[in-house]
Amino acid sequence: MVHQGAGPPQGRAGSHGIQLARPYLPLLPFFGYLTIFLLLPTAIVTVGAFQDVQGNATLQNITAVFEGEAFRDAFVRSIQLSAVTAVGGAILGALLSWAVAISSPDGRLRRVVLAACGVLAQFGGVMLAFAFVATFGNNGLVTNVLEDGLGLDIPRAATWIYSLNGLAVVYLIFQIPLMVIVFMPSLDGIRREWREASASLGGSGWSFWRHVGGPILAPSFLGALLLLFANAFSAYATAAALISQGSPIVPLRIRGALTGELVLDQANVGKALALGMIVVVAIVMILYTILQRRASRWVR
């Protein structure tokens, strides 16, 4: 006996499944982008870190990273550089954000500062390194003005801009604007009613920031600080353009391992270094996500 109408329910089920999947179809390009530029490279790095040149499983690459003094020093210097620029960028960026936050919400100052920060936060890489060298280098604009215009004796052989100290100054150029962009919504979330309530209870400005404003902004500030750390820790192009000799930080060590500048067949050691960077950044971003969840309850 043949049951009539068996086909239509299946068709309706298939149509229902298409309707459920339709809202997610616009996300397919994003997931494709995420797979090609994040998941796939991460998988290649992770697998390669545990392989030798012949493709056999090994722990030698990880051991070389942990036991190699040059590699350990590179991680230490990268963490120090990232921490210094993150703290400096967070403090200076928070002060700039506060100056903008107390200005008129529709004023020209806010629009100009936020627009400039949006540009400078993305102004990195070779362009930033060239601008810095053209301004403060041995034949830079500021150097020539100080020598020819003011008669100051500045050694032409000065190389501070090509050191980690110079790199820290360059990193602040994009760290401070990034802090403004990230921290400004939290400052805007401080409501006037809270200040008025504190003042009506006899609280001073200091007591408001100590007991109300400070605790509310602390998770946002620390989260932004971690974001700046991860941003500096993973930066490569600016350091590669400024520092051509040696590899003082991890990204430059990875470049040397992959290109075989010093020792051949070190590509998988470079992948082990990259895996270490992934672990550090992942830890930082997990902490950042936790802090952002706490801070989001106070942001409008």
pLDDT classification of 207: cutoffs 50, 70, 90: confident
Whether 154 maps to a domain, the answer reads: yes
What average pLDDT does the segment 252-272 reach?
81
pLDDT of residue 172: 94
pLDDT band at 161 (very low <50, low <70, confident <90, very high): confident
pLDDT at 8 over 60: no
* 271/210 Cα distance (integer angstroms): 46
Q: How far apart are CA 118 and CA 60, in angstroms?
A: 43
Q: Which domain holds residue 237?
A: 47-296
**Over residues 176-205, mean pLDDT:** 84
Q: Which of 300, 241, 244, 247 is nearest to 273 (CA)?
A: 247
DSSP 8-state symbol, 265: S
Pick 192 or 82 by higher pLDDT: 82
**Of 147, 216, 227, 153, nearest in space to 186 by CA:** 216
Mean pLDDT of 54-73: 89
Quick one: pLDDT at residue 140? 77
Tell whether 219 is covered by a domain.
yes
291 CA to centre of own chain: 16
pLDDT of 1 > 50? The answer is no
The residues, any chain, with a CB within 8 Å of residue 101's CB and separated by 6 or more, are 184, 187, 188, 190
What pLDDT is attached to residue 216? Answer: 85
- Comparing 166 with 263, the larger pLDDT belongs to 166
- pLDDT of 7 over the 90 cut: no
Judged against a pLDDT cut of 70, whether residue 2 lies above it is answered with no
What pLDDT score does 16 carry?
A: 64
Write the DSSP symbol of residue 271: H
| pLDDT tens-digit series, residues 217-246 | 888 899 999 999 999 999 998 998 888 777
Rounded Cα distance between 100 and 116, Å, is 12
C-alpha of 84 from chain center: 14
Query: Does the residue 216 lie in any domain?
Result: yes
User: What pLDDT was estimated at residue 241?
Assistant: 87
Per the structure, the count of domains in the chain is: 1
Q: What is the pLDDT of residue 54?
A: 87
CA torsion through residues 197, 199, 202, 207, sign = positive
CATH number of the domain that 276 lies in?
1.10.3720.10
- Residue 168 pLDDT class (50, 70, 90 cuts): very high
Tell me the pLDDT band of 271, cut-offs 50, 70 and 90. very high
CA dist 43 and 55 (Å) reads 15
Q: Are 46 and 275 in contact (CB under 8 A)?
A: yes
Measured over the CA atoms of residue 87, residue 92, residue 96 and residue 98, the dihedral's sign is positive
Per-residue pLDDT, 178 = 94
Above pLDDT 90, what percent of the chain?
Answer: 35
Tens-place pLDDT, residues 10-51: 556 556 667 777 777 888 888 899 999 889 999 999 999 999
Q: What is the pLDDT of residues 99-141, one digit of tens each?
A: 998 888 788 888 999 999 998 888 878 888 888 888 887 777 8
Give the model's pLDDT for residue 189.
Answer: 82
Range of lowest pLDDT (1-15, 40-54, 150-164)? 1-15
Beta-ladder partners of 57: 51
Cα dihedral angle (155, 157, 160, 162), rounded to 10 degrees? Answer: 150
Per DSSP, helices labelled H in the chain are: 7-21, 28-34, 40-49, 60-67, 69-101, 108-120, 125-136, 141-144, 164-188, 192-200, 205-208, 214-233, 237-242, 250-259, 267-296
Residue 204 lies in a domain: yes
